[in-house]
Amino acid sequence: MYLEHFKFSELPFSLTPDVDFYCDLKGHQEALNTLIFSLQSGEGFIKIIGEVGSGKTLLCRKLLSSLDDTFVTAYIPNPDLNPTELRRALLRELGVEPQLLQDQHELLTAINNRLLELHTLKKHVVLLIDEAQALPVESLEALRLLTNLETEKNKLLQVVLFGQPELDEHINRPNLRQLKQRITFSYYLPQMSREELDIYLFHRLAIAGHTLGTLFTEKARHLLFQSSNGIPRIVNILCHKALLVAYGRGDGRVNHKAMLNAIQDTESAMKINYNLLITVTVILGMVVGIVFIFYLYNGII
């Protein structure tokens, strides 16, 4: 592997959501601030939407690590569960074994009792559901009913949904309009800008131990942005492959040729014809030059 070659202490572009590599890009930091503020305010439903690979799971884990001990969190990463399974999963996350509970009434009673117990301890209970677009419609409705559990002044359970845009399609159904009305805060994770891509790269490289200047050339970063559309997961895949290519060639930096090889080897990346790109750039430069000479010759400038 290329760890020793580039003097890394760990892989800088692993696909595993690692909070140590969290980069406070504007969109992600705004989402995190929204989440923390909403939870501290006691809001019932919060929704975070992002495209595939936009960093929702990492944001979720960052939120989990950012909440203090006044919060009790329940985390469900694989929510393809029917209402009964969902209630059982919530109970387990709250430290109650639901094996002996048979019917829905017993499950709901156990959940309510546990939430009241935690409330007396001055704890805020938050249920975080990742990949929430996988929740069946009937389970989304079950979630809404769970947020009905409350005291005279406070909600006993807050819910944060992290999902792909398909989640909005589900919530916009007429039969889920009551759930939609419960969502008090919603945020759509943006893709990285070209400037943010550089920040993201340098941040992850620094965390991994690289201190020897810019590792990716300007041309390589330009191609990376074009082919990834600013989606973190694709950026990580392409950077990892490009580093492998550079290592195989014995290069100390990742140039545009290594990045092109990575792009061609990645199905999810937008393919780029580099020769065509150069040709178009040259033609545009010539056109600009001709226009400039024309205006200069005619005394316009």
pLDDT digits over 282-298, tens only? 555 565 566 556 556 66
Of 213, 233, 224, 212, nearest to 255 by C-alpha is 224
Please tell me the pTM assigned to this model.
0.84
Instruction: Round to whole Å and give the CA distance between 67 and 49.
Output: 20
Q: Rounded to the nearest 5°, which phi and psi values hold at 201?
A: -60, -50
- Which pLDDT does position 276 carry in this prediction? 43
pLDDT of residue 99: 75
SS3 call for 207:
helix
Distance, in Å, from the CA atom of 254 to the CA atom of 233, rounded to the nearest integer, reads 19
CA distances from 33 to 26, 39, 67, 262 (A): 10, 10, 11, 35
Joined tokens for residue 275:
């020769």
- pLDDT at residue 289 in the model: 60
Write phi, then psi, for 200 (nearest 5 degrees): -60, -45
**Domain segments of the chain as ranges:** 26-188, 194-288
The predicted pLDDT at position 298 comes to 66
Q: Specify the fold of 26-188.
A: Rossmann fold (3.40.50)
Architecture of domain 194-288: Orthogonal Bundle (1.10)
- Can you give the pLDDT at residue 95? 92
Low-confidence ranges of the chain (pLDDT < 70): 101-102, 271-301
Residues 9-27: b if buried by 16+ CB within 10 A, e if exposed: eebbbeeebeeebbbebeb
Q: Could you give the residue ranges of the DSSP H alpha helices within 41-153?
A: 56-66, 83-93, 104-120, 137-146
Q: Which residues lie across from 75 on neighbouring strands?
A: 128
